[in-house]
Amino acid sequence: MKTKSILITIFLFLAFTIQAKLPKHPCLLLTQKGIEKIKAQNKPAMLFNTTLIQIKNQIDPILKQPIEVPLPKDAGGGYTHEQHKRNYNNMYNAGVLFQLTEKKEYAEYVKEMLIQYAEMYPNLPLHPIQKSNYRGKLFWQGLNECVWLVYTSQAYDCIYNYLNPKEREFIENNLFKPMVEFIAIHNKSTFEKIHNHATWAVTGVGMISYVMGDKDMLEKALYGLDKSGKSGFIRQIDQLFSPDGYFEEGPYYQRYSLQPFIMFAQAIENNEPERKIFEYKNGVILKAVTTLLQMSENNGQFFHFNDALDKTWHSTELVWGIDIAYNRTGNKQLLSIAKEQNTVILNEAGYKVATDIELAQPFIHQTMVISDGAKGDEGGIGILRCPNKNNESCVALKYTSQGMGHGHFDRLSFTYYDNNKEIIQDYGAARFLNIEPKNGGHYLPENNSFSKQTIGHNTLIVDETSHFNGKLDEASKYSPTFYAFINGEQVKMISAKDKHAVPGVTMQRNLLLISHPAFEHPLIIDIFKIISQKKHQYDLPYYYKGHLINTDYKYNAFDTTRTLLGSKNGYQHLWIEAQGNPRQETTSTTWLNDNRFYTLTAVTDENTEIFLTRIGGNDPNFNLRNDPCLMFRQKESDNHTFVSLIEAHGEYNPRLEYTLAPYTNVQNIQIIMDTEEYTILKVTTKNKQTITICFANTDNNPHSVHKIRDYSWQGVCEIK
């Protein structure tokens, strides 16, 4: 009897020990501690409750419908693709509702769907659509499989204790473990990449490993399959983010990747706070949220750098990012964006946002430099902002690294926003996401043949050849270099150089945003300096958005027949609509965007050709937007400096039928001096006011004093 008592004691001790080591469910983004806070409702949380009701109203009717788990066959936008997406969202929402309401019908719904997936998954072949080297089983692309796992792991976590051991065993052995093996082992090359696809992969595997208590696979998700730290989640944080929180692939994919980074980080924090994941690399994951917000216009639209589509901070990924970041930092500026989003995630972080929402402070966009590269030494983005009546003017210079496979060949390109509109645009990507008739929703052929090519951007093209000859491996070796930055009250400036994009050619771009009493709105001055030992053809396009109003130079309009600008490197996609050789010192081109006029005044000479072009050539499937472009060409030049001024002016009111100030206020721009060391410009207005810009091209010491002819100044740049 005594022996039996001892055995029972040992058994109970072991059971208690094992239970103590097992995670309490839910354990990922929603936790028991968080649920207790939410249910207590010690503070008003109207936005949380509203979101809860909205999701409940969405899910309740679905519970009455038959569960659909179709055999995969369609590409993005097709029925099976979209159904599997709906399924993981519905399972996630139902799982959360079960935890917050304790109503069993939500758990039953998740259980039944998981069982159906577990019955189907072991026998699934690779997806029949072969448009990716990284094919999934449920989806045409393995990436979507990982997203499915990220959401579904949370649903499983929410109903874990509702299931009996046999049900858990069946679901894990037939669904989750085979899926983990497929993602991590069968697709090892992707799982171990430093890339956004791998971020979703390690996050999905890591989160389901927490739920299943699989410590071994969790470590592999964190540190790579060999656990050496050469790949995995931690390595991705190290390599993909700069110290400032810039994601290597650009704002669009930073938005997309932010969700798995911040979700997995929160899951790690909830399960193993001793890892201090949010403090890792000086808190870069949380920095990434605010850095991404800074790479947007006042209305929240993210810059279209690299492969990018229209996205704003209202997107789902930013709801996760804002809520978790606020819960960690208490930054009340984030609450103003949460107010705009008008929804929260249904966990402790979302509840915190909802209870504090009335403490919101306006989000302040800043003039700033954001570094690129794991160590912050691979170029970056310079953002200049200036208040402009009820909104602001914003100029962003892109001098980042290549950005891997989603990067574009566009060294020293820029974009310009004003009046809450994109005025000088970055085209972004050629893709109709999830529109199945357009190439299955995938990237279109024109993404490579035009969107990525240098001519598709607002930067210099030499001899009609893209930077690095369009070779990704070569472009990935080099980055432009930061030169100077000024953030004054009246003058803001960013300058960067590149000497690798075109062999034997050094490029330097200086962008200034100036507030001056002679002008109604802030001015942009663009100085693009080129140094070369050999003669080349230089093209500098500006992809303006709006309707052409007038020019002060003559041109030949091709209004009955059109020819193409070139035959390759993106030139084959541009129609020449008009061409001129103005033979004058300055030229002005004015267009109308919404209710405001914009004029680009450029320094020209007898060798300057001006092209008015439009995107759309060699596009039989109408995959490209037919947007206009103003391009300056300089032939047979070695050293050359393009100088342009962009002025916003006037107003057009179609409702009240009046027009104000439709003409530019600029009389001319003179280059007083232009050497390798110095550039001095003089802008004269129509009422004879002048602005003189003095620039040091090779000495970026802010304390250096320069004296040239009758001009003297301190630092890189001065406006007189």
- Catalytically annotated residues: 253, 406
The H-or-E segment that residue 472 falls in is helix 472-475
Dist. CA 472–CA 460, nearest whole Å: 18
What are the Cα distances from residue 124, in Å, to 70, 190, 378?
A: 11, 20, 43
Tokens of 598: 């914009």
- Bridge partners of 580? 610
DSSP 8-state secondary structure symbol assigned to residue 431: B
Edge-to-edge strand ranges of the sheet holding 717-719? 666-674, 678-685, 690-696, 717-719
74: Cβ–Cβ under 8 A, 6 or more apart, which residues? 80, 81, 82, 129, 140, 436
Which of 697, 695, 670 minimizes the C-alpha distance to 684?
A: 670
Phi-psi category of residue 464: left, alpha or beta, with phi > 0 → left and psi -120 to 50 → alpha: left
DSSP states along 293-324: HHSB-TTSBBP--SS----BTTSHHHHHHHHH
Of 515, 486, 478, 459, give the one whose Cα is nearest residue 647: 515
Give the integer Cα–Cα distance in Å for 355 and 553.
60
On whether the CB atoms of residues 513 and 495 are closer than 8 A, the answer is no
229: left (phi over 0), alpha (psi -120 to 50) or beta: left
**Parallel/antiparallel/unpaired status of strands 391-399 and 413-418:** antiparallel
Rounded CA gap, 42 and 90, in Å? 29
Question: 3-class secondary structure for 11-45?
Answer: HHHHHHHHHHHCCCCCECCCEHHHHHHHHHCCCCC
In angstroms, rounded to a whole number, what is the distance separating the alpha carbons of residues 133 and 130?
A: 8
Phi, psi of 395 (to 5 degrees): -125, 135
**CA 155: distance to chain centroid?**
28
The closest of 667, 511, 521, 514 to 595, measured between CA atoms, is 521
Name the nearest CA neighbour of 190 among 141, 237, 152. 141
Query: Is-cis flag, bond preceding 26, omega within 30?
Result: yes
- Residue 67 burial (CB < 10 Å; 0-12/13-18/19+)? middle
Where in 469-558 does DSSP place strands (E)?
A: 481-487, 491-502, 505-514, 523-532, 536-542, 547-551, 556-557
CA angle 591, 594, 600 (to 5 degrees): 25
Angle, helix 142-159 to helix 79-101, in steps of 10 degrees: 20
How do 658-660 and 690-696 pair as beta strands? Answer: unpaired
